[in-house]
Amino acid sequence: MHSPQTEKKFVDDGIGINHQAVMHDDFILVGPADDPGNIKVARNIIEAYQRIASQQQNFLSRGDDSGANKKELFLWNQAGIHPYGSDWCIESGAGMAATLKMAQQSNAYMIMDRASFLVRNNGGSKLIIEDPINLSNIYSIIAVNSEMNNQVNTNGANDLIDWLISPTGQDAIAGFIHNGQQLYQSIR
């Protein structure tokens, strides 16, 4: 998971147990290689969103209630903008790879996690905005509470969690490289 508010509710509702942060990367704003809205001059993601909205630049949202979509909604709210239903903000209802492809085809901007961008970008989009303060992306793992679902392999879930947070698991995460680039940072 990578939606802290959703994770908290999942645990608070008693559905999840043994909540552990395991790795992180960040979200980035990507867009057309020629950056038609000159969004790259924005000082941070909030200003970038405001520039996109004021110019009605094409923006592609996953619109799928994923962690990335939740982050995007939070950022629009922080920018004081409610773009859904406008002509320039389109919801794909698809995963990250499909949404990136659609953004490239429609000359649109979008939010995505850096690791997905490094793996999925074919050169049709470029990184427009990085914002370490507002775009952090922490991935967690949570075991399902066996009292809520008797088909849960509690021992297996806890073994996986223990391995992911162990030095060996953290080294495996830090060592995950694609095309010479580290995709995720270990959390510990």
Q: Is 66 helix (H, G, I), strand (E, B) or coil?
A: coil
Percent of the chain with pLDDT over 90: 75
For the segment 68-95, the average pLDDT, to the nearest whole number, is 92
Percent of the chain with pLDDT over 70: 99
Cα 125 from chain centre: 17
Class level of CATH domain 27-129: alpha beta
Higher pLDDT, 124 or 144: 144
What are 19-28's pLDDT values in tens digits? Answer: 999 999 999 9
Tell me whether the CATH fold assigned to 4-23+136-186 matches the one assigned to 27-129. yes
187: tokens are 């959390």
Residue 122 has pLDDT above 90, yes or no: no
For the segment 30-38, the average pLDDT, to the nearest whole number, is 97
> Residue 166: which residues within 8 A CB-CB, separation 6 or more?
none
Residue 159 has pLDDT above 70, yes or no: yes
pLDDT at residue number 1:
62
Domain assignments of the chain as residue spans, ordered by start: 4-23+136-186, 27-129
Residue 2 has pLDDT above 80, yes or no: no
What are 97-112's pLDDT values in tens digits? Answer: 999 999 999 999 999 9
pLDDT at residue number 144:
94
| Burial of residue 180 (number of CB atoms within 10 Å: 0-12, 13-18, 19+) | exposed
Residue 4 has pLDDT above 90, yes or no: no
Superfamily of domain 4-23+136-186: Periplasmic binding protein-like II (3.40.190.10)
Residue 83 has pLDDT above 80, yes or no: yes
Closest by Cα among 64, 5, 55 to 31: 55
pLDDT at residue number 123:
80
Cα 54 from chain centre: 24
